[in-house]
Structure 1
C-alpha cells in the first residue's frame, strides 16, 4: 500500500509538471511551420480575422509571445500575427535571405569547394552553426552556408 501511495503521488506530480514545463519555454525562440497550410491571425483565437495564409512547410518563424495554445510569431519578411501552436514545430530551419544566391560550400569556410548556389527564399533544414557557417540541407543537397545568409540561424 505504501508503494502505491508513493507511485500515485509521483504520477500526480509528473502530470502537473508537464504543463508547467511548457510554460517555462523562454521567448523569443525559433520554430517552423509543421503543416501544408496554416493561418496567421490578428489575435490569439480562431474568432480573429485571418491576416495571412502560409503554404510553406518548414518556413522558420520567430516566436515572440505565448498565450494559451497560441504563439505570436514573426516571419522572415517581418509580418507578425498569431498561429495555433499545433501547426508549429521546434525543428530548426533556415530561410535564404539577400538579393543574390547564397553559396553552399563543402565545408564551413569561404575557401571551401562551392557545391551549389541557392536562390533567396529557399527553405532548408538547419544544422549546427559554428564560426559564422551553418550546416544546411536543401532536399538531397547538403553543405554549409554563411550564417548571415540564413534567417532562422543564430539567436532569435
Structure 2
C-alpha cells in the first residue's frame, strides 16, 4: 500500500492545477498498459490533430490574452497538433514543433495534412502501381479522408487520391480512419 500511495501522491503533484498529466507519463502504476492521455477539458485524446479554422491565429506564451504572442499562424486549414488544454485554450505545435497557446475558437476538428515530399504522387488506389491522379507540391495542405495502415486518401483542389502516410504530417502512423 505504501508504494502505491507514494506513486499516487507523486502523480497528483505532477498533474498540477490544469489536471493534465505530463507528456509521456503513464497513469497506470502497477505494470498494466499505459492509458491514453486525455484532455482535462474536452476529454479527447492528447496529443491529437486539428486544423486552423481562421486565417490568422495568435500563439501565445501562456493560456490567456495577457500572455505575450510568440507566433502568428497565417494559414487557414493548416494542420496543428494539440498537446495540452487549459480552459478555452489549447497548446498547439506545427510540423516544425513551433507553437504556443491558441484560443479554441480558432481551431477546427476538420482533419488536414501537410504534404512533406515535393511532387508527391497521389494514386487512384492505395498502392504504388495504381494510376497517378495528381502530383502535390511540398507544403500543400490537403483534407484527410480515409486512412489505412500505410496509406491515406486525400482531397485537394478537386483532386482525390491515396498517398503514403510517410509523406504526410498531421496523421499518426498507426491511425486508421473510415
User: Under TM normalisation by the shorter chain, which class is it?
Assistant: 0.7 to 0.9
Q: Would you say 1:63 and 2:82 are equivalent positions? A: yes
Per-residue deviation, 1:22: 4.9
Query: In structure 2, what is the equivalent of residue 40 of structure 1?
Result: 59
Match of 1:151 among 145, 169, 173: 169
- Is 1:75 the counterpart of 2:104? The answer is no
Matched residue of 1:134: which SS?
strand
Question: Partner residue of 2:34?
Answer: none
Partner SS, residue 23 of structure 1: coil
Off by >4 Å, runs of 4+ in structure 1 = none
TM-score when normalising by structure 1 = 0.81
Whose RCO is larger (CA < 8 A, sep 6+)? Answer: 1
Number of aligned residue pairs: 135
TM-score using structure 2 length? 0.71
Q: Is residue 106 from structure 1 mapped to residue 128 from structure 2 by the alignment?
A: no
Gaps of 5+ in 1: 1-20
Higher strand share: 1
User: Which whole-Å CA distance do the structure 1 matches of 2:171 and 2:160 have between them?
Assistant: 16
Aligned to 1:118: 136
1:95 aligns to 2:105 (yes or no): no
Quote the offset at 1:101 in angstroms. 2.0
Please state whether the residue corresponding to 2:91 is helix, strand or coil. strand
